[in-house]
Amino acid sequence: MTSTIDNWQPRIRVLTVIVIAALLAGLGVWNEITTWQRLVLSSNNRLLETARAIGLHTDDVFALAEQPLAQLALKAQIVRQDQRPEAALLEDMQSLRRSSTFLNEIIYIQADGTVSHSRPDAMATTAELSLEEYSGFHRSHASTDTHIGTAVRSKSGKDWLLPVSRRIDAPDGSFAGVLLATIRLDHFARFIESFDLRGDTAFYLVHSEGGVLLRYPFWARSVEADLGDREFFQDQGPAKQQGNHEYRLQSGESRLSGYYYSPDTRVTAIVTRSKSALFHNWVTRSKYPWACLIAAYVVGLGITFRWLRQIRLREIGDRKVAAREAEFRLIANASSDVIEKHSMAGIREYVSPAAAILFEQAPETLIGKNVTDGQDEATRTAWRSAQLRLQSGSLAETILAQRQRADGSVIWLESVLSCVRSENGAPADGIVVVTRDVTRQETAKRELDTLAVTDELTGLFNKRYFSQHLQTVLSESPGAPVSLLLLDLDRFKQFNDTYGHLPGDNCLRDVANAIRSALPESGAVAARFGGEEMAVLLPGFGQAASLLLAEKLRRAVEALKIAHEANAPSGIVTISIGLCVLPKGHSETSETLIVSADQALYEAKSQGRNRIALSAVPAPPLKQFAAI
């Protein structure tokens, strides 16, 4: 009985999770369907309110446009009856156009085809209208009601205009002409843009006779583009006056709309938007609840499988750990590198036999001791920092340290530390350390580093290192006093011409050794600056100390007594020295220091050689000095 219950328990848990997940999914679906219905209803209401506002605004605009046409029609009849000059009518046309905020132009088309414009720039501003078409329309229609045309572009192509026309009758009732006004649609555009609607929204003005008067956004190819179910709006608009309508375009896109019919102008204002955009909003809002339901379902399944297989996984894990430890010890015992297992606190738990050679200690004597025992302070700090970084999540750390052997020799040891992490994501329970002897590699590296900054001939630093060191001194101690000596062997070209280049190289080496021997033990840096020119940087040296050292260097070279017949009058190798001193509180750059020292060297040469010339940078003002 108990065995049967135990067999059914995993299935019961799975069914429980599935039922809960189904309930959550059902709640989510019901909630999102309700949300979708609310979104559609809210969007329809908003479209209807927007269409009503645009329709009422259109009535106002057309009413304001009809007033000047009615006035001008009456004036035109009076002009014809009294046979007055048409200049008065043209003047009224211009005055009414200027006073209106909506009208772009007023055109008077007489019965004989004569056309008068209210604007002097009519050729540039007149819309692409067929004036004969409007004249013919009103000639065949005796009604004096205002006729609204279809939106067209101006000749400049920049503006959209809506034509509004009115018939003028002669006293006998015959056709006497047409008054045509064009309304700038940018006013409609600004009014429409004041509504906070989505980018897929479209606006239409449709006449009851079937013509599309306006589409916004404007389309260059056709104002009628993308209207859709026009017949519905023509038939239902006058009958119902306002409402909502859903229709489908030829492309298959479903659109929602709100419409408002004005009985005064017989124009229907229509506002539409894509239903797919609403659906996208619905999906966007619904994906998070659905994600929660799916996550709950997945978590439930994971918990169920974990319960069922927990014991089995633990047994498999224990066997894997045992096999891994055996493999690890086999590899460690055969390796020439020292392989250790530490606790997270740094206590050695295992040490491979190679420690007897590399550490000169038996492995068993190291087990149970902290890795920092017997180390110098710098090494202890490096180990502790590496352990902290590993505990913080670092995958591996490397420590390079020196160790003194029993015979007094020093070796370099590189230790690579890696955390032992379990597969189930539990915190690390130990550190594996692999240590190897890198003395040969480290020695070679340091020799290469030395060669990279040293002049091969003289053994002094090269110009590249000297320039970097000068920049470092000025940036790390801004405003501190510093001096620069530029030294040049006098008439060294003649020395090479007289004795040859090999003695010349020997001479440079001897001079470099003399300079190196005369420098203080710390602080000063000497470098070969190029050819027979050398430089000495003296951080912290003032003018007096720098002059004393410069004289010491000059005498040291002179004391070598290297024969140089072309260097009169001494007949031996001598040097000229240019000295530049930057006082405390200076704000000079390395370029200023080098240029000033070079100028001083030139001055020493011009004064007869084998001497020192000083080029001191003026001290800063007292206020600046006091602030430093």
pLDDT in tens, 47-67: 888 888 888 888 887 777 777
Over pLDDT 90: what percentage of the chain?
Answer: 18
Residue 4 has pLDDT above 60, yes or no: no
Amino acid at 134: Y
Residue 561 pLDDT greater than 50, yes or no: yes
Higher pLDDT, 285 or 393: 393
Using pLDDT thresholds of 50, 70 and 90, give the confidence band for residue 237: low
pLDDT in tens, 584-601: 877 678 888 899 999 999
Task: Say which residues have a Cβ less than 8 Å from residue 523's Cβ, sequence separation at least 6.
Answer: 538, 539, 540, 541
Q: Is the separation of the CB atoms in 262 and 54 below 8 Å?
A: no
Q: Which of 175, 180, 166 is closest to 111 using CA atoms?
A: 175
At 576 the pLDDT is: 94
Q: What percent of the chain has pLDDT over 70?
A: 80
**CB 171 within 8 Å of CB 190:** no
Highest mean predicted confidence (pLDDT) among 120-129, 267-276, 562-571: 562-571
| Alpha carbons 575 and 485: distance in angstroms, whole number | 12
Mean pLDDT of 595-620: 84
Q: Which of 100, 145, 107 is nearest to 265 (CA)?
A: 145
First to last CA, the chain: 92
The pLDDT value given to residue 625:
33
Could you list the active site residues?
A: 532
User: What value does the mean pLDDT take over residues 29-37?
Assistant: 79
> Phi and psi for 188 in degrees, rounded to 5?
-60, -40
pLDDT tens string 491-542? 999 999 999 999 999 999 999 999 999 999 888 999 998 889 999 999 989 8
Which superfamily is assigned to 454-627 in CATH? Reverse transcriptase/Diguanylate cyclase domain (3.30.70.270)
Cα–Cα distance, 358 to 288 (Å, whole number): 60
State the pLDDT confidence band at 152, using cuts at 50, 70 and 90: confident
Strands (E), 70-189: 103-110, 115-117, 147-148, 152-153, 160-169, 175-184
Report the pLDDT value the prediction gives residue 238, as an integer from 0 to 100.
Answer: 63
Name which residue leads in pLDDT, 489 or 276: 489
Q: Whose CA is closest to 52, among 264, 272, 242?
A: 242
Map tokens 């050819």 to a residue: 531
* Torsional class of 18: left (φ above 0), alpha (ψ -120 to 50), beta (otherwise): alpha
Q: Tell me how many degrees the CA angle 266-75-187 measures, rounded to the nearest 5.
A: 45
Give the confidence band of 573 by pLDDT, cuts at 50, 70, 90.
Answer: very high
Q: What is the mean pLDDT of residues 536-564?
A: 93
Nearest Cα residue to 491 out of 597, 563, 594: 563
Range 138-165 burial, b when 16+ CB lie within 10 A, else e = beeeeeeebbbbebbebeeeebbbbbbb
DSSP string, 239-288: HHSEEEEEEE-TTS-EEEEEEEEETTTTEEEEEEEEHHHHHHHHHHHHHH
Tell me the C-alpha distance between 462 and 512, whole Å.
Answer: 12
The first and second tokens of residue 135, run together, are: 């004249």
Most confidently predicted of 51-60, 248-257, 407-416, 548-557 = 548-557
- H-helix or E-strand spanning residue 527: strand 525-530
- The pLDDT value recorded for residue 587 is 67
For residue 93, what is the enclosing H or E element?
Answer: helix 87-99
Backbone angles phi, psi at 503, to 5 degrees: -60, -30
> Which residue has better confidence, 340 or 155?
340
Q: Calculate ∠ Cα 280-223-97, nearest 5°.
A: 125
pLDDT value at residue 496? 92
pLDDT at residue 363 above 50?
A: yes
Highest mean pLDDT among 2-11, 108-117, 565-574, 612-621: 565-574
Closest CA to 396 of 429, 361, 432, 422: 432
Highest mean pLDDT of the ranges 6-20, 167-181, 433-447: 433-447
Residue pLDDT, tens place only, 317-335? 777 877 777 776 777 676 7
The pLDDT, as a whole number, for residue 239 is 66
- Tell me how crowded residue 84 is: count the other CB atoms within 10 A of its CB: 12
When pLDDT is averaged across residues 287-311 and rounded to a whole number, the result is 73
Q: Residues 366, 368, 372, CA angle at the centre, nearest 5°?
A: 70
Is the CB of residue 335 less than 8 Å from the CB of residue 351?
Answer: no
For residues 186-214, average pLDDT: 74
Please tell me if the domain spanning 44-290 has the same topology as the one spanning 335-445: yes
pLDDT exceeds 50 at position 125 = no
The answer to whether the CB of 74 falls within 8 A of the CB of 271 is no
Domain 44-290 class, CATH top level? alpha beta
Domain boundaries along the sequence of the chain: 44-290, 335-445, 454-627
How high is the pLDDT of residue 622?
Answer: 40
pLDDT band at residue 627 using 50, 70 and 90 as cut-offs:
very low
Element (H, E) at 157: none
Residues in the chain: 628
Pseudo-torsion of CA 77, 81, 87, 93, nearest 10°? -10
Q: What is the pLDDT of residues 449-485, one digit of tens each?
A: 778 888 889 889 999 999 999 998 888 878 788 999 9
Given this structure, which CATH class describes domain 335-445?
alpha beta
Mean pLDDT of the residues in the chain: 79
Work out the average pLDDT over 202-218: 74
pLDDT band of 220, cuts 50, 70, 90:
very low
Most confident of 156-170, 203-217, 381-395: 381-395
Instruction: Check pLDDT > 60 for residue 572.
Output: yes
Other CB atoms within 10 Å distance of the CB of residue 491: 19
Q: Could you tell me the maximum CA-CA distance found in the chain, to the nearest angstrom?
A: 136
Residue 222: pLDDT above 60? no
Read off the DSSP letter of residue 480: -
Query: What integer pLDDT is reported at residue 178 of this predicted model?
Result: 83
Residues 602-614 have a mean pLDDT of: 92
Stretch 159-178: mean pLDDT: 78
